[in-house]
Each structure stands twice: as structure tokens, then as C-alpha cells.
Amino acid sequence: MTTPGALTGKELTKHPKGLYVLFATEMWERFSFYSMLALFTLYMRDESEGFGWSSEQATNLYANYLMFVYASPLIGGFLADRKIGYRRSVMIGGLFFMVGHLLLSFHSLTAVYAALTCLVIGNGLFKPNVSTMVGNLYPEGSHLKDRAYNIFYMGINIGAFVAPVVMEVIKQAYGNHPAFAVAALGMLVSIGILWKFQHLVEDPQPDSMEGLGDPERAEALQTTTDVPPDHEVPAKTSLMESVPESKRILALVVIYLIVIVFWMVFHQNGSTLTYWADENTAWEVSGTISNAINPFWVVVLTFPLVWLWGWLNKRGLEPSTPAKMTMGMGLCAASFYILYVAAITGEAAAPEDDPYNFKVSPAWLITAYAVMTLGELMLSPMGLSLVSKVAPVRMRGLMMGGWFVATAIGNKLTMIGVYWTEWRHSTFFAALGTMALFMAIVLLALLKPLKKAMPGV
């Protein structure tokens, strides 16, 4: 018996239905996650509904929360690999998420800290393992895996785009606490979808020994079951499996170190790029709205990019995953050089004694975000795909967690934004663009050894 949501051959012609189940699961979870982020710091500062905290207090708690959120998948991935299994980890994580959002709907500082603890645990169990489940829908060697992660990544950004809009409407009409409750409702929808359609994302009888004489069946069981590796069945050796595990793990660690810089630069969108949008962009809205630009471009650009990869693949021209990530890093650098030119243009017209007092066309920011988002689509979902392809089967959840630890470190390093008002804006943008460009060059130089450690990707 084969899994309805997975295919057993290497030659795939379409995505399994399970991809769309996980797409919807992740979309609603991200709606829930970004709803909380859109509300949290302003809620903590609010003197009537919140706790009247200073901006510094709220920002420090927010930064520490994000650091733990992005580090927690390392533990969650390990537990899924060794003990719990991927689907069960996602379900348990979803329940912690829901409890955390519900706790925030009560006005209590104790409830806030308890909620943040639940959200960190929930993210650790949910985030790396739902990403791993996407890769596990595809047999080893499938060229559809990269494009699957692009589609999956779009689900993340639909949730991210809708969340702040919905939260603002509910907050204005009913207040913060009902808005947090709506975030919990989004999480309920997420785990409800996964529960209802679980048969499409895992083998209904993972311990079945049927078909063990068929190597393709054995491989399908290895990649689709929701059990820790102690229950694996023998599979034929692939090109990737011929590379020693230590070499593959080292290659992934190198990738992690490089993408730390990407996240440090990219996640300026929540701080310095918001300040730029608020203070230096000539439009009649606040900088808050700029946070919708990136997910908007993700939704717009994802399917054209997926189509391009498919078109190139048919002609044998699709770049390897590390090559795509190199291009992504280069595009990230280019986006900040666009902002550098915008800042130079504005500073030239600013008063000599106030180089920060200028405004430029919003087209600069919108264009920079378009280029940055294209780079993001070549790097972030490609990184998820790479981990799924390269990590040893018994360590996939753990290594997926490592990807999120790199993200956590990058988030912590966004503190480089403290130089926003100490350097000229043009200098700040140039510095970040140059850091990203340097890492793109490093990745380019390492392409050959990486390809040897990651054959076929």
C-alpha cells in the first residue's frame, strides 16, 4: 500500500496533495505568529490595555523572544528525529502556540511570560518539523523539491501579509486582547487542517513491512513515514548517501554560517527599513505599512520563479541549490546598494547640518524590496530544501533546527541597527550591502567543494 500524498518514483510530474495540506497548515500558523508580532511591542507599551512599558523594555523583551523563537527548532527537531516523529511534533507545537496566544488575551504580566514560553516551545516543535515534512513528501533526488519549498514559502508570506492587516482592524474595533484571541483561532485552524488531512502527509501504516523487497517502496517508506529513524527500513544507496555523513553535515554548517549574514541584513525590515519608510520616504502613510511590501512581493514573484526553475530544468539548465543561494545573496546585496543610491540622492538635497532630513520617492523602497525578495526566494526556501536533501535521514529534524539557529543568530545581529543614527544612512546601507556581497563571493568560491559534498543538488 502506498501513501496517497507521496510518490514512490524519482520521476515526478506533479506535486503531491500533501504539499497543499502543509501549505495551508503553515499559512495559518504564520498568520497566528505574525499577528502576535504585529501587536506585541505596542501592546506592552500601551498604558491602558497593556503595561505602560518603555520602548527600550518592550524592544529588549521582543529581541530576546525572537532569539529564543529561532533557536528553539534545534531542540524541537532533535526530539522529532529521536522520539516523537514529525507530524506529532507539529500537532503538539500547534497546541502550545494556541495556549500561548490565548494567554496573551488576558491582562496579566505573569500570563505574558507564560505565553512567551509556550510560543517558544510551540515554535520549536512546529517550525522545523513542518518544513521537514515538506521534503519528506518527495523521493530522494526529486527536482520538484526546490519548487515545493518555493510554494510552501509563499504560504508563509500570505499569512505574514494578512496578519497585520487583520490585527489592525480587530484592534481598532475591539482592542488588543480579542486580537490575540483571533491569533489563537488561526492556530486552531492550522492544526485542524493537519489533523483532518494527515493521511496525505504520512504513511497510514508506517510499520507495515509490505513491499520491503521493492527498493522504490523501501525508499518511499523511508521518506514519508512519521516515525523516528529507529523504525527505518533499508533503502538503496543514492548518490548523496555515498558521501560520508560528516562531510555532508560540515557542508551544511558552512551554509549556516554564511546565511547568518543574510538574516542579519534581511531582517533590517523590522527596524531600520521601517525607520527609513517612516522618516525618509515621501508618502502619506506611516512606516508600518512597509512591512507588507516584502510578503506582497513573495506572493507576486513565487510562481513566476517556480515556473522559471521548471522551464530551465526541462532544458537541463536549472542551477544547483547552492548556486541559487549564491544568486540570492548577491541580490540581497544589490537591494541595499539600491537603497544606498537613494540615500545618496536624498542626502545631497538635505541641509548640511541635518543629513537625515530628506525624503525620497517610495519607488526606491518598493524596488529595493522587490530585488531583496527575489534574493530571499532564491535563498531561504532553497536553504530549507537543501537541508532536506543533504542531511542524513536520521538527523533531518536536528539539521533543520540548525538552519533556524543560524536564523536566530542573524536576528540577534540585527542590532547593527544601533548605528542607524550614528552613521549616514548611505554609509549604513553601503556597509550592509558590502557584507552581503562579501558572503556571496565566499559562497561562489565554495561552490565546487560544496557540490562535491552535496552531489545532485
* Rounded mean pLDDT, 219-243: 48
Lowest mean pLDDT among 81-90, 127-136, 231-240, 399-408: 231-240
pLDDT band for position 236 (cuts 50, 70, 90): very low
pLDDT of residue 374: 94
Alpha carbon distance 322, 391 (integer Å): 14
Alpha carbon distance 340, 425 (integer Å): 8
Domain coordinates in residue numbering, the chain: 14-203+211-236, 242-457
Burial of 367 (0-12, 13-18, 19+ CB in 10 A): middle
438 compared with 309, residue with greater pLDDT: 438
Considering the chain, what percentage of its residues have pLDDT values greater than 70? 85
Per CATH, the homologous superfamily of domain 14-203+211-236 is: MFS general substrate transporter like domains (1.20.1250.20)
pLDDT band for position 202 (cuts 50, 70, 90): low
- In the predicted structure, residue 280 carries a pLDDT above the cut 80: yes
**Dihedral, CA of residue 261, residue 373, residue 155 and residue 274, to nearest 10:** 80
- CB proximity list for 332: less than 8 A, separation 6 or greater: 262, 265, 266, 372, 375, 376, 379, 436, 440
- In the predicted structure, residue 337 carries a pLDDT above the cut 90: yes
pLDDT band for position 227 (cuts 50, 70, 90): very low
Alpha carbon distance 440, 410 (integer Å): 16
Of the candidates 169, 196, 180, the residue with the CA atom closest to the CA atom of residue 97 = 180
- In the predicted structure, residue 63 carries a pLDDT above the cut 90: no
Calculate the average pLDDT of the chain.
80
pLDDT band for position 431 (cuts 50, 70, 90): very high
- 3-state class of 360 per DSSP? strand
* pTM as predicted: 0.70
* Rounded mean pLDDT, 147-151: 77
326 compared with 140, residue with greater pLDDT: 326
C-alpha dist (Å) from residue 171 to 27, 39, 58, 332: 21, 9, 19, 34
* Rounded mean pLDDT, 137-158: 77
Most confident of 281-295, 302-316, 401-415: 302-316
* Rounded mean pLDDT, 214-237: 39
pLDDT band for position 345 (cuts 50, 70, 90): very high
Decide if 14-203+211-236 and 242-457 have a common fold: yes
C-alpha dist (Å) from residue 340 to 145, 172, 343, 425: 36, 36, 5, 8
Tens digit of each residue's pLDDT (9 = 90 or more) over 99-127: 999 999 999 999 999 999 999 999 988 88
203 compared with 121, residue with greater pLDDT: 121
- In the predicted structure, residue 222 carries a pLDDT above the cut 50: no
* Rounded mean pLDDT, 299-327: 87
Helices (H) and strands (E) in the chain, counts: 16, 0
Q: For domain 242-457, say whether CATH 2.30.30.60 is its number.
A: no
136 compared with 236, residue with greater pLDDT: 136
CB–CB of 412/248 below 8 Å? no
- In the predicted structure, residue 235 carries a pLDDT above the cut 50: no
The label of the residue with cell 496579566 reads 108
Alpha carbon distance 165, 162 (integer Å): 5
- CB proximity list for 243: less than 8 A, separation 6 or greater: 452, 453, 454, 455
Helices (H), 225-320: 245-266, 272-279, 293-314
pLDDT of residue 387: 81
pLDDT of residue 370: 96
* Rounded mean pLDDT, 202-218: 36
Taking 3-state DSSP, the helix, strand and coil percentages for the chain, each rounded to the nearest 5, stand at: 75, 0, 25
- In the predicted structure, residue 397 carries a pLDDT above the cut 50: yes
Alpha carbon distance 211, 220 (integer Å): 10
Tens digit of each residue's pLDDT (9 = 90 or more) over 18-31: 888 888 888 898 88
301 compared with 420, residue with greater pLDDT: 301
Tens digit of each residue's pLDDT (9 = 90 or more) over 358-378: 999 999 999 999 999 999 888
- CB proximity list for 176: less than 8 A, separation 6 or greater: 39, 43, 46, 49, 50
In eight-state DSSP terms, residue 281 is: B
pLDDT band for position 346 (cuts 50, 70, 90): very high
- The residue type at 436: A
- In the predicted structure, residue 446 carries a pLDDT above the cut 60: yes
pLDDT band for position 211 (cuts 50, 70, 90): very low
Most confident of 223-237, 308-322, 332-346, 379-393: 332-346
- The residue type at 162: V
Alpha carbon distance 425, 232 (integer Å): 54
CB–CB of 104/36 below 8 Å? yes
